[in-house]
Amino acid sequence: MKAISYIGINLVAIGVGLLAAMAAGNAVRGREPAFAAERPLRVRIELSNHPDTTGALIAGYNYRLLQEFAAEHGLQADIRKAAPDTAALDSLRRGAWDLLVLPWPQEAADSLVFTPMPDSCAVWAVTARPKSRHRLVHRFLNALPERWDYARTREPFFRIYDPLRVAARGRKLDALGPYDDLIRKYSEGRAWDWRLLAALIFQESRFHIEARSWRGAEGLLQMMPRTARNFGLDNTLDPEESIRAAADYLGHLEYIFRGDADSQEDLQMIVLAAYNAGEGNIKEAIGRAKQYDVPYGTWDYISNHLDYIAQDTYNGDETRVFVERVYAWYEAFCKIVPE
């Protein structure tokens, strides 16, 4: 592609390069390296103003490519969401970040270079100096369509479908979403079918890594900040860490409620309810059932006592619907990707 002049901003179409070789060449010529090798590549994603993030997993797609860009050049990457109140372009200009992913910019910034992705779903922005920086970004993105695995990498992030409709039509897919490998990895050795964990993720975020609820829950698994900290999750934008932390949390909940369930399926439903409502609320529902000497080992019995402990921040019907929907997605996923 050609560079495009836009109010003093170079909009450059992008491709692939080798940072190590370029950095070495710069050192020989006494030039500043493209990126500092002694620290992680500092990247922020700011797509809150994107006109449409529902038609594709745009943040997740960019996250994957940013990981590949960093790995290709021998760098670690610290990829996070830009805080909503951050002046993103100013932070990039000041050097607080190395690279920024955002929709098409609405303001002129002659000290920055913006490179559109081949899909035109976002732009990658870097400072104009050193020049080697935007050249690397240009080469990486410009070469994407020529890669042998381009379609395979891109497709899971742009295939948005209704699992219930696909399952009803008897269609089979090769993958449920872009994170199947990670979900399988962190389901291994547990009593959970990986597709049940995938169903939980789908219910929570529809596979959007940037998802955030009005209550402050974030990421693929919509973990609250305190729970995330308790299970070692520092960056909710990181899909692997989010899935790992959620799997650990589910294991913790299974341990807590194992003695209260009559079957593995009941245990999983109780755990899902606790994931949604908080373990304290489900413990209270079980305690209430015990108090009145009624059966409490099945999800049906426990769910009947949820309304008695409803609070301003908690709704028994919401939790019942949550569990039902997760299992509906799970049944559909089992038909779409049978084992």
By annotation, the residues acting in catalysis are 204
Give CA separation, 122 vs 75, 128, 141, 208, 238, in Å. 22, 18, 11, 16, 19
CA pair distance 216, 196, nearest whole angstrom: 24
Give CA separation, 56 vs 51, 117, 164, in Å. 12, 14, 19
> Residue 229, Cβ neighbours under 10 Å: how many?
12
Query: What's the distance, CA 29 to chain centroid?
Result: 40
Give 4's strand partners: 11
